[in-house]
């Protein structure tokens, strides 16, 4: 058995890349959702306070409980003194404006987190799922590691200043990818522009709520195709945003952090500039779709001589718009032969795209069909044929 590389596409004209994107933000990161290609990366691996963008992890942990059937959207969550609007912690912070002793539906907690960036709602969720906010941060940490976020740490569920609240722009993008891909029924909630909470328990909150209904994510109002995700702001950390837009069937995910703009409108304008840069300067090329025969791989001791290799999801490469496929090399890498039995869906190799020697995309090759193993006498005959060089 040997490792074999099969060249699928070769176009070796070299060209120059696009100029770097310029931004006043301390960190910026832009990727294509389908290919995972990095389009812009500025201090993408620098740990920074995420402010309220941390609530995306709070929501991801909550979404897991909903998906597991442990909670429904109509279940009621109790509000403790820790989440009461009279708690001085919430005076300057974003909130829904809750009162200790009341309950709030899971749906309203989610919308309160997304639209109003309700830190009080994050405490309600944390205490429901883990008993305390400090215990909930352990669930956040565990979830982060499970989805490939190796650096992020969490000190609370709300994003209020805490030395343990640290995330990178790259890992915020990983979290956004996870939310979009793994919770397709819940992700549309992130496009909600306004949320009016109808269960205020005090006159002050009712009056406060009259003017607090609009999503802090102003990109939803200014860019066609924008549909999420979350903003954040602290005095020390500046403004930040994790955003996504889908235009012409293509989705991009952008992250900005440490932006010292005037307000959320300025933040949205900077994010729009980042996303529009991606759409204007890059294009996707789909090389293979699920079910396409990428290559045939020999099978050792198989009832069929070969198994068809395909991809589990579209194999997409993001390229500079002006260059097309120049400089692109696509190869399939696999063991020759693979050993039977091979079940449909098994990983049997990889498909890799490089551009001018740099890897730009990688995906698993999977078996399109099942190839069972021959019985004992069939293997004996196979060995004899190999020994005597009989085809």
Q: Which residues are annotated as a binding site for substrate?
A: 230
Active site residue 339: no
Whole-angstrom distance, CA of residue 29 vs CA of residue 315: 22
Question: Which of these, 193, 173, 290, 291, lies nearest to 241 by C-alpha position?
Answer: 173
Longest CA span, the chain:
92
**Which is catalytic among the residues 26, 35, 51, 55?**
55
Please choose, from the candidates 320, 282, 279, 352, the residue with its C-alpha nearest in 3D space to the C-alpha of residue 13.
320
**In the annotation, is 26 catalytic?**
no
Considering the candidates 94, 117, 152, 158, report the single residue annotated as catalytic.
Answer: 117
Q: Under DSSP, is residue 361 helix (H, G, I), strand (E, B) or coil?
A: strand
Question: How many CB atoms within 10 Å of residue 346?
Answer: 15
Helical H segments across the chain, by residue range: 55-67, 106-114, 119-130, 133-146, 169-182, 203-210, 219-222, 264-281, 376-387
Cβ count within 10 A of residue 156: 21
Active-site pick, 35, 52, 122, 169: 52
The CA distance from 47 to 323, in Å, is 34
Helix (H/G/I), strand (E/B), else coil: 16: coil
DSSP-derived pairing of the beta strands 338-339 and 295-300: parallel
Omega before 341 within 30 of 0, i.e. cis? yes
Residue whose C-alpha is closest to residue 174's, from 278, 274, 36: 36
Contact 64, 291 (CB under 8 A): no
Q: Is 196 a catalytic residue?
A: no
Catalytic positions, written as ranges: 52, 55, 117
């Amino acid at each position: 058995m040997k490792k074999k590389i099969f060249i699928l596409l070769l176009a070796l004209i070299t060209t120059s890349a696009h100029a770097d994107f310029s931004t006043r933000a301390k960190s910026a990161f832009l990727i294509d959702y389908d290919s995972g290609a990095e389009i812009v990366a500025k201090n993408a691996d620098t740990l920074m306070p995420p402010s309220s963008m941390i609530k995306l992890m709070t929501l991801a942990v909550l979404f897991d409980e909903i998906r597991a059937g442990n909670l429904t959207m109509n279940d009621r969550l109790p509000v403790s003194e820790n989440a009461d609007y009279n708690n001085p912690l919430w005076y300057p912070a974003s909130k829904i404006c809750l009162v200790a002793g009341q309950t709030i539906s899971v749906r309203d907690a989610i919308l309160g987190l997304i639209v109003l960036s309700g830190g009080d709602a994050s405490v309600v969720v944390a205490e429901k799922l883990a008993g305390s906010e400090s215990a909930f941060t352990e669930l956040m940490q565990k979830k982060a590691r499970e989805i490939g976020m190796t650096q992020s740490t969490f000190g609370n569920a709300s994003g209020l200043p805490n030395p343990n609240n640290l995330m990178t722009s790259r890992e915020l993008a990983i979290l956004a990818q996870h939310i979009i891909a793994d919770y397709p029924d819940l992700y549309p909630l992130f496009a909600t522009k306004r949320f009016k909470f109808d269960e205020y328990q005090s006159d002050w909150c009712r009056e406060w709520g009259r003017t607090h209904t609009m999503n802090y994510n102003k990109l939803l109002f200014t860019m066609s195709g924008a549909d999420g995700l979350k903003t954040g702001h602290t005095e020390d950390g500046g403004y930040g945003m994790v955003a996504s837009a889908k235009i012409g069937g293509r989705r991009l995910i952008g992250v900005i952090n440490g932006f010292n703009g005037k307000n959320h409108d300025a933040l949205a304008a900077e994010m729009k500039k980042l996303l529009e840069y991606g759409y204007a300067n890059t294009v996707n090329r789909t090389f293979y779709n699920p079910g396409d025969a990428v290559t045939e791989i020999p099978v050792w001791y198989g009832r069929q001589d070969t198994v068809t290799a395909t991809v589990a999801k579209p194999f997409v490469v993001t390229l500079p718009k002006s260059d097309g496929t120049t400089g692109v090399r696509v190869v399939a890498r696999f063991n020759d032969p693979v050993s039977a039995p091979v079940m449909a869906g098994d990983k049997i190799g990889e498909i890799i795209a490089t551009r001018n020697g740099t890897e730009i995309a990688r995906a698993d090759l999977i078996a399109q069909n099942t190839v069972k193993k021959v019985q004992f006498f069939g293997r004996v005959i196979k060995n004899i044929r190999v020994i005597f060089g009989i085809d």
